[in-house]
Structure 1
Amino acid sequence: MTYCVAMRLNSGLVFLSDSRTNAGVDHIGTFRKMSVYENPGDRVMVLMTAGNLSISQSIRQMLSERTNAEGRSIWTATSMYEAAQILGDAIRAVHDREAAELGKFGIDFNVSIIFGGQIKGERCRLFQMYSAGNFIESHDENTYFQIGEAKYGKPIIDRVVTPTTTLDEAAKCALISMDSTLKSNISVGLPLDLLLYNSDELAVTRFVTIDEQNQYFQMIRRSWGAQLKRVFEAIDDPVWDAAPEATLNVLSSSSDHSEPVRVPPPSNIAHNAPTMPRQILAHQDGNSEQAH
C-alpha cells in the first residue's frame, strides 16, 4: 500500500508520498511513487500513484509519450485540464490493454493518481484521477487530495489546512499526517518524497527525500506524540450524573433518563436481581452501622 497527499494553496502546491509498495512478514518493497514532469520556465507537473505497481508504472511511461487527437501531449498541452485529460486517456489505454488479462488471474485494475502542477499562463491546479480515467479538481472548498491509506492522516489536515496556509505550514501538516499514518499502518513506510512548488516559479526548487536520519522528520516524530498526550491530559475528564448548572463538562445529566438498547436473556436463564453491596454509613460520633 501507500499514502500520498497533495495540497493546493494560494501560494502553491505541496506533494508528499511514501515509498512502500508491499508490506508483509518477510517481504517489503520500496518504490518511489512521485514522478516530476518538468520543462523549466514553461511547466511543472507532478504525478503520485497508489494501487497496482505494474499498472501505475505503465501509465507513468505512457503519459510521457502519449498525444491526444489534436497532437498535443502533456509537454505541449495548453492547460493543466488538458494535461489531465491526456492522463485520463493513458489510464484508459492501459486498462484496455491489461484489464482483461489481469482479470484472468483474479487481479483488479486498481490505480489511484494525484496529478497537479502549473503551465505558464494559468494558475496552479490539482486533480485526483480514478481507474476509469475520470477525475475531479481541487477547489477552495477542498484544498487537498489523498490516495492510499488516507484515513489516519486526514483529521489533522481537515483541522489545519486552508487556502491561505503557507507552503511551509502545509508541509509541516503533511508530514504530521504522514507520521500519524506511519504510526498506525505498517503498509506505509519510509523514505518519503516531499516537493514544495511556489506559484509561477515554473521550476522545482524545493524537493527532499526523507529517510530515518532526517532531522526535521525525527523532530516531528518525537514531538507530535508528546504534544498530543499533553493536550489530551489537559482536557478534563467527563462528569457523570450531575446538573449542568452545577458544574462544567457534564457528560450525563442528572435529568438524563436515556437507556441502552437491551437484549433480554433467554427465557430458560434464571433472572437474579443484582445484590447491592453492603455499605458502611459513618456518623459524626465516630460510630458506624451496617446498611443493606
Structure 2
Amino acid sequence: MTYCVAVKVDDGLVFVGDTRTSAGVDDVRTYNKMHVFETPGERVFVVMSAGNLATTQTVLTHLRRDMADDKPVNLNNIRHMFDAADYLGGLSVRSQKEAGAHTQYASNVDFRTTLILGGQIQGEDPALYLIYPEGNCISASPETPYIQIGESKYGKPILDRVIRPQISLEDAARCALVSMDSTMKSNLTVGPPLDLAVLPRDALRITHKERFDLDTPFYANLRKSWGDLLMRSFTELPRFEWEAQSQAQTQLL
C-alpha cells in the first residue's frame, strides 16, 4: 500500500509521499512514488502514484520517452495543466492495457494505478489533479484544497481541520507531514523514507525537496512534538459532570 498527499494553497503546492511498496514480516521494500519533471523558469510537474507498480513504471517510461523523442504531445510542449492531466490519464489507461496484455494471469492481477499531477506552466496558476485509473480527472478546489491517494483515511482528519487556501506553504507542509505520521501510526503498509517537495507560486521550480527517515532530526522532533501536544490537549478536555461530583465527594471525605 502507499499514501501520498498533495496540498494546494494560495502560495503554491506541497507534496508528501511515502516509499513503502511491501511490508511483509521479512520483506520490506521501498520505491520512489514522487517524480519531478521540470524546466526551471518555464514549467514544472510532479507526478505521484498509488497502485500497480509495473503500471506506474510503464507510465513514467512513456512520459520520458515522449519528451526525449519530442512527440507532438509531451510534458515539454503541452500548453495547459488540464491538458497535461488528460494526457497523463491517457497514458495510464494505455499502460494498464499493456501490462495486462503481457501477463499470463492478467485476470487475477489488478493493474490499476491512481495518480496525482501537480505543477505550474508559465502564464497559468498552479494546479492539482487527481487522475483515476479510468483516465478521467478532477481538480482540487478551494473547498477541498488537497488530494490523497492510497491509504488516505487515517491522515484525512488533520487535513480537514487545518488546510485552508490562505495558510502558508510551511504550515501546509507541516500538516501534510503530520497527516503522513498519523497514517504510519495506524498502518504498517505505509512507511519511511518520506519525500517532501514544495513548489511556490510562480517559482516554476521545486525550491525545497527533502527526504525524511524516522531518525531525521527535524522529522523526529515534529513527530514527538505532535504526539506530546495531542496528549496535552487530550488531558485538558472538559470533564464529565459525574467526574466533578466524584471529585467533590472525595474532597469532602
Q: Same fold (TM over 0.5)?
A: yes
1:115 and 1:104 map into 2 onto residues whose CA distance is 27
Residue 72 of structure 2: aligned partner: 71
Residue 101 of structure 1: how far off its partner (Å): 5.0
* Cα-to-partner distance string for 1:165-208 (whole Å, 9 max, x where unaligned): 10000011011111111111100111111001111111122111
* Cα-to-partner distance string for 1:2-29 (whole Å, 9 max, x where unaligned): 1100001110000000000011111111
Residue 6 of structure 2: aligned partner: 6
2:207 and 2:73 map into 1 onto residues whose CA distance is 27
1:39 and 1:7 map into 2 onto residues whose CA distance is 21
- Give 1:64's aligned amino acid: R
1:156 and 1:238 map into 2 onto residues whose CA distance is 26
Segments of 5+ residues of structure 1 without an aligned counterpart are: 241-246, 248-292
Q: Is it true that 1:158 corresponds to 2:181 in the alignment?
A: no
- Give 2:225's aligned amino acid: S
Q: When the two structures are aligned, how many residues end up with a matched partner? A: 241
* Cα-to-partner distance string for 1:122-178 (whole Å, 9 max, x where unaligned): 000000011111110111111000011111110001000100010000011011111
Q: 1:28 aligns to what SS in structure 2? A: strand
Segments of 5+ residues of structure 2 without an aligned counterpart are: 246-253
> Residues 66 and 86 of structure 1 are in contact (CA less than 8 Å); yes or no, is this contact kept in structure 2?
no
Which is worse superposed, 166-175 or 212-221?
A: 212-221
The one of the two structures with greater contact order (alpha-carbon pairs below 8 A, sep at least 6) is 2
Residue 248 of structure 2: aligned partner: none
- Give 1:42's aligned amino acid: E
Residue 62 of structure 1: aligned partner: 62
2:214 and 2:89 map into 1 onto residues whose CA distance is 35
Q: 1:224 aligns to what SS in structure 2? A: helix
Q: 1:225 aligns to what SS in structure 2? A: helix
TM-score between both structures, scaled by the size of structure 2:
0.90
Equivalences for residues 1-292 of structure 1 within 5 A:
1-66=1-66, 71-102=72-103, 104=106, 106-239=108-241
Q: Which has the higher helix share?
A: 2
Residue 104 of structure 1: how far off its partner (Å): 3.1
Q: Which has the larger radius of gyration?
A: 1
1:90 and 1:65 map into 2 onto residues whose CA distance is 12
